Structures are given as C-alpha cells and as structure tokens.
Amino acid sequence: MAARFFRRSEPFSRSFRSMGGLATVTICGVNPKRAETVTEQVESIFDDLELELSTYRSESTISQLADNAGGNPAEVPEAAWRVLNLAQHFGQLSEGAFDVTVAPVVKLWGFGSNAPPPGLPSAEGIQERMKLVGFRHMILKDRTVFLPVKGMAVDLGGIAKGYAVDRAFEFCRSVGVNDFLIDLSGNIRVSGRPQWGDDWQIGVRDPFDRSRIIGKIILKGGLALATSGSYERFVEVASVRYSHIIDPRNGCPVSGTAGVTALCGDATSADCLSTWFFVLGLKGAAEILQKTQPVDVLIIPDKYPIEIWLTPRFAEAFIPMPELSDTVRILRYTST
C-alpha cells in the first residue's frame, strides 16, 4: 500500500499597507481560502477606519473637525466618537501626557508632512500653538464633538491603530477564527495559539539597531502589545533627530527615551500607554506606577550602553537575548 503523506498546513500570513504603515495578519488552523477572505475583511476594516480617523486625509471626520474648530459642535460617526472618548479617558488618566489635541504642535514640528521642516520652530511659535492644546477644551456631548478655538485639531496617531487592531480582533473571533496574530505597525494583538507552539512569541527590536532583536515577549492569547519608538518616525534638523512624540506640557519632542513597549489586555490601551509612557520616560514611569497599577511596560532609555527596564510582571513574559541578559532591570515604583 502506498504511504500517504498529509502535509501539515502552513500558517497563513499576509502583509499589506494600511493606516500609514505595514499590517500583517497571520492565521492558523484555517484553510488558506478562508484565511484570505478574512484577511481581506480585516484590510477593509482598517481602510474604513483610516478614512474616518486620519489626520492626513482632508475628507476624514477628524480633518473636518479641525476645519470646523471655533464653529459649531459637529455630529461624528461611531468610530470617531468611540476613539475620541477613549482618547479623553487616557488624557485624564495620564494627566495630559497623552493628549490628542497636540496636533497643531505636531504639525509645527513638521511630523507627518513629506517635506522636511525648514528648521526648528521658535519658542514663540511653540507658545502660540500651545494655546490650542488641551484635551479638556475638547467637548464631547450627545455624539457631537466641539473644538472651541479656531486652529485646534486632533491627531489620533497615538491611538487609532490600536483601536483598529481591536476591531479586527473582534471581527476575526466573531467569524470563528481563533488562532491568529494581527500586527499593525507594531500594534499587535494575538488570539489562541500558533500551530507550532503553546504561545505566540514576539520579538522586540533594538531601538538603536532595527535589524537586531533584543529579546522575545511571550504573549498569551487575547493580549496586546504596542511599541512607541523614537526610531519609528522622526524629523531631522541639522543632523539631530527629534522624536515624533510631543510632550504636551512644553510643546517639544520628547527626549531621553528610545523605546517603550506596553503589554495590555487590549490593543487600544496598549497604543495609548506606549505613547503616554514614552512621554513620561523611565523616571516619570517609576513615579506613577503605583497609581496606575496594573500597567506593564518595557522602557529603553536613550543612552549607551543599552538598558532594558521592565515592570515585574512584564519581566516574567520577557526572554532577553543571552548576550543582553545583564542589561535587564526591574522597574519598580519609586516615590519622589
């Protein structure tokens, strides 16, 4: 009798560009045709959200809000409403370190535009724009949003991708796909397990050398990760790199932090937390950890030699590359 070999099915994985970055969907245990269809649906979830939430598309709800600033409250579609409410929540929780109304200052520094900025903005220029920043001035009421001062605008770059990943995650589960990984520009959420092991494992890139992995994170099904890094997006003026994350307290790009990864139960929170803790930096993080427990972050300060700081629970899920195990430190609450 001829032996019959059944080839173990390969995991399905496909990448595409969406929401200004690269998305990868990996699906296990489903036939390729079905996986392809589900991935196409995930792609259209991302594309629809981009049309609504992008700062860079003039017809998006978010751009229209900015056009309407200083005018009247405007009714917004559901996704924008939900994301803006979540953004307000994280604005309050972070006491303004995470603030989506920082948009006018983000623009001033030249982030997001194709042309490099002509030079650094002046202190006066920053002061002027800072008058337009403050999440507490944005009014959300009865499904309407109001930016009361002309020139105010919203930038959802620190939350929208995480939100999109959560919607895609829910969609996949709702159609009975259980073992998958969704990655949208470093905003990752996993479900179930991969077909080659018990848990998903995610490599963390070295913020100083993107070609290198500093370690792996073991991610249980359902959990999410997000990374904010100064290497992801930046502007360069006179050979100095300025990170794309602005400290809303002074209107300047954050310095001192090279990378932050947040581990959470959902991708929206992970996205906000990584941006928020990037602003706080190592010292700020240690000071507020007690208040915001349970928060799990990995922080790499912008200094040489590399140090990898992790909250205790995150440390349990992190396997450093052997040559870097001496550089791992536990990040605990310290009072000022």
Q: How far is the CB of 99 from ligand AMP (least distance, A)?
A: 5
C-alpha–C-alpha distance, residues 227 and 106, integer Å: 19
Neighbours of 143 (CB within 10 A): 13
Q: How far is the CB of 29 from ligand AMP (least distance, A)?
A: 31
Interacting positions 236-275 with ligand AMP (CB under 6 A): 244-246, 248, 271, 274-275
> Does 274 engage in binding with Mg ion (CB under 5 A)?
yes
Q: How far is the CB of 244 from ligand AMP (least distance, A)?
A: 4
Interacting positions 148-187 with ligand AMP (CB under 6 A): 155, 157-158
Query: Using the rule CB under 5 A, which residue among 91, 104, 121, 158 binds Mg ion?
Result: 158
Query: Using the rule CB under 5 A, which residue among 275, 281, 300, 301 binds Mg ion?
Result: 275
Amino acid at residue number 47: D
CA distances in angstroms from 234 to 46, 242, 245, listed in the order given: 24, 5, 8
Neighbours of 211 (CB within 10 A): 6
In 3D space, the residue among 316, 330, 315, 281 whose CA is nearest the CA of residue 301 turns out to be: 281
In 3D space, the residue among 158, 154, 135, 164 whose CA is nearest the CA of residue 266 turns out to be: 164
Nearer to Mg ion by C-beta: 191 or 275?
Answer: 275
Is there a contact between 258 and 208 (Cβ–Cβ < 8 Å)?
yes
Q: Retrieve residue 50's tokens.
A: 């981009």
Site stretch for ligand AMP (CB under 6 A), options 27-35, 43-51, 96-104, 311-319: 96-104
Task: Choose the one of Mg ion, ligand AMP, none that binds residue 248, judging by a C-beta under 5 to 8 angstroms depending on kind.
Answer: ligand AMP
Strand partners, 309: 299, 329
> Does 271 engage in binding with Mg ion (CB under 5 A)?
yes
Q: Retrieve residue 267's tokens.
A: 């991708």
Interacting positions 17-76 with Mg ion (CB under 5 A): none
Nearer to ligand AMP by C-beta: 147 or 245?
Answer: 245
Task: Choose the one of Mg ion, ligand AMP, none that binds residue 329, judging by a C-beta under 5 to 8 angstroms depending on kind.
Answer: none
For residue 231, give every residue at least 6 positions away whose Cβ sits within 8 Å of its Cβ, in sequence order, or none.
Answer: 207, 208, 210, 258, 259
Q: How far is the CB of 236 from ligand AMP (least distance, A)?
A: 15
Helix (H) or strand (E) holding 140: strand 139-141
Residues near Mg ion (CB under 5 A) are 158, 271, 274-275
Residues near ligand AMP (CB under 6 A) are 98-100, 102, 106, 111, 155, 157-158, 228, 232-233, 244-246, 248, 271, 274-275, 278-279
